[in-house]
Structure 1
Amino acid sequence: MSTSYSYPNDSMASHPYYPPDLVLPGFVPNEISVPVLLASFAGAASLVIWVTSVLARTIRPGISRADLFTAMWFMLCGCIHLFFEGYFAYHNGSMPARSDLFGQLWKEYAKSDRRYLTRDSFTVCMETVTAVAWGPLSFLIGWFVIKDNPLRHPLQIIVSLGQLYGDVLYYAIFFFDESVYGAVYCRPGSFYFWAYFVMLNGFWIVIPLIHIVRSTVACARALQFVQDATKQRRSK
């Protein structure tokens, strides 16, 4: 349950973010309960995964489990990057006052990282690049996987590496600012740190690493096949 803080200056609204004296101009408290917010996000993600699964099995009935998982992952990434993170990139200057569903979802997540409410330069730039570049490319990769197009592998490496690099920087700057400058971005308590900050972002560490390895192996095998075939032709 969120905790409210009172401020001596009436111009500063009470809010559940840290530090307690953080100024958030125009801040409007969330009206949608946390269970409903989380259920809405999970429901939308489940819908994207289900639609992708149906589409993939219809277009390519013999699709492997690995490719089906990959297609669902990148279609989900496309939606999150382009629409959800794109929302933040576009509205970053007014996030404390946003009261629609996406705005309230971001304000709930910001309990683990208040940079999303303060126009932090790295966060804004990182999310903008993610939305503009990785969002559309994720949709393209998902489609290429469904169609069994070999171009999915180089694109998969590029986007997965971009996701991994952005997430590593996101974690690194958070801990660097905390240890060197004493900055406090997350509310005290283990839930927001481990459930929101660590777990939710951790997916974009583990899964991109898997896809980088798989696509690198696939590209290496293809190049090896071409090299062996070329050598055989020359030896004749």
Structure 2
Amino acid sequence: MEGQPHPYAPTDLKLPGYVPNFFTQFTIVSVYGLSSLLVGENIAKVISRYAARDAVVEGVTAVFEGPASLLAVYAIASGKSYSYILQFSVSLGQLYGTAVYFLTAYLEGDHFAASSYHYYVYYIGANASWVVIPSLIAVRCWNKICSAVQVQGQKRTKSH
């Protein structure tokens, strides 16, 4: 079974089951752009805080957490010893930013959504991953760091 011709190099590469895309690039980009616009607009309507951004929290995220995240990716990929402390730090920074986000909303009356459905789906549901994922990473890194310190302590005890 030869499969259909494909646009990839080398041209004699066998790709069994290859099916050419029947959507044009314009169609794909248009659907993506329209979807992003509709979802972004809904979030801004539902949670007015997204329309008026908190410059301090976003500034800290952009200046510190963004580059630290990229450094963490590099450290993980190259097996650097500081990868766990970086992941832990970035996760704590994310949890702090999320806590500030939710606490300021609570202190301002927490009336940013048009309905309880939108409140729970967009405000709570969409932001849940910003709590769950960094928490899991922080706990994992905490355990790894504690284990490494414990092993190091045991090595020192044995050598004396």
Return the TM-score normalized by structure 2.
Answer: 0.71
Q: Are positions 1:137 and 2:68 aligned together?
A: yes
Percent identity over the alignment? 27
1:208 Cα offset (Å):
0.7
Partner Cα separation in structure 2 for residue 132 and residue 109 of structure 1: 25
1:33 Cα offset (Å):
8.1
Partner Cα separation in structure 2 for residue 140 and residue 201 of structure 1: 24
Of 115, 125, 132, the residue aligned with 2:49 is 115
Q: Structure 1 128/34 Cα, relative in aligned 2: closer, same or farther at 3 Å?
A: same
Superposed counterparts of 1:212-227, under 5 Å: 212-227=138-153
Moved over 4 A (4+): 32-35
Name the SS of the counterpart of 2:79 in structure 1: coil
Question: 1:74 is matched with which residue?
Answer: none
Partner Cα separation in structure 2 for residue 214 and residue 153 of structure 1: 9
Of 141, 155, 158, the residue aligned with 1:229 is 155
Partner Cα separation in structure 1 for residue 79 and residue 151 of structure 2: 18
Question: 1:24 is matched with which residue?
Answer: none
1:229 Cα offset (Å):
0.7
Q: Are positions 1:208 and 2:147 aligned together?
A: no
How big is each residue's C-alpha offset from its partner over 1:201-223, in whole Å with a ceiling of 9 and x where there is no partner? 11010111111111111111111
- What amino acid sits opposite 2:127 in the alignment? N
Question: Contact (CA 8 Å) 1:106, 1:116: kept in 2 or not?
Answer: no
1:158 Cα offset (Å):
0.7
Superposed counterparts of 1:3-152, under 5 Å: 36-38=34-36, 106-118=40-52, 123-152=54-83
Unaligned stretches of 5+ residues in structure 2: 1-29
- Number of aligned residue pairs: give it: 131
- What amino acid sits opposite 1:220 in the alignment? C
Q: Structure 1 106/128 Cα, relative in aligned 2: closer, same or farther at 3 Å?
A: farther
Unaligned stretches of 5+ residues in structure 1: 1-31, 39-100
Of 186, 203, 218, the residue aligned with 2:113 is 186
Name the SS of the counterpart of 1:161 in structure 2: helix
When the two chains are superposed, the root-mean-square deviation of aligned CA atoms in Å is 2.5
Q: Are positions 1:168 and 2:102 aligned together?
A: no
Partner Cα separation in structure 2 for residue 208 and residue 131 of structure 1: 17
Partner Cα separation in structure 2 for residue 177 and residue 228 of structure 1: 51
